[in-house]
Amino acid sequence: MSKQYKRHFLKSKEAKRLLENASKKLKIALEKCFASMPKVELVEADFGEVYLLNSELALFKSGENVYPTLLFKEVFGFLPKVVVDMGAVPHVCNGADVMAPGILRFKGEFVKGDVVLVLDEKHGKAIAVGEILYSADEVAGVKHGTVVKNIHYVGDKIWKTIRELAGT
């Protein structure tokens, strides 16, 4: 049985502010993903807020930050990536942070605090969204410990909610 969520469209001023904040956090001009200013709908869930851009489940809010969902494929090409070995996948998909020994390689430029996608090595699929704890020049020397703080992963509350909202 599906849950009832509180939904409404944001006013254009609120939508613009949300997109500006998200663009700043993601270091992406989100308007490049859309031909015109998207219609932004807010869905209030038990864990927080999910934003639909032109009916696409694109963003969610965690604390004061806005992050992409694992269904917002339009931004995947713009975000830096961390590729993990298959041994790390079940741990990351259970909410564990990404540890140095499980990382195979990095793709793209990043600095400490940037939003990154975590990909599995076998299929190259996005399994998590996180924040990198080191800059690109520092991370090569890290051999143990946490490298990426896991924010959103396949199977979490956000994932289950967006899949339910998407009807899949």
| pLDDT exceeds 60 at position 132 | yes
CATH class of the domain comprising 75-153: mainly beta
| pLDDT exceeds 90 at position 95 | yes
Question: Whole-structure pTM over 0.95, yes or no?
Answer: no
Residues 6+ apart with CB under 8 A from 131: 113, 114, 115, 116, 148, 149, 151
Question: What average pLDDT does the segment 152-158 reach?
Answer: 94
Question: What average pLDDT does the segment 53-79 reach?
Answer: 91
Where in the sequence of the chain do the CATH 2.30.130.10 domains occur?
Answer: 75-153
At 33 the pLDDT is: 78
Report which DSSP code applies to 123: T
Where in the sequence of the chain do the CATH 3.10.450.120 domains occur?
Answer: 6-73
Question: CATH homologous superfamily of domain 6-73?
Answer: Pre-PUA domain; domain 1 (3.10.450.120)
Report which DSSP code applies to 134: S
At 2 the pLDDT is: 54
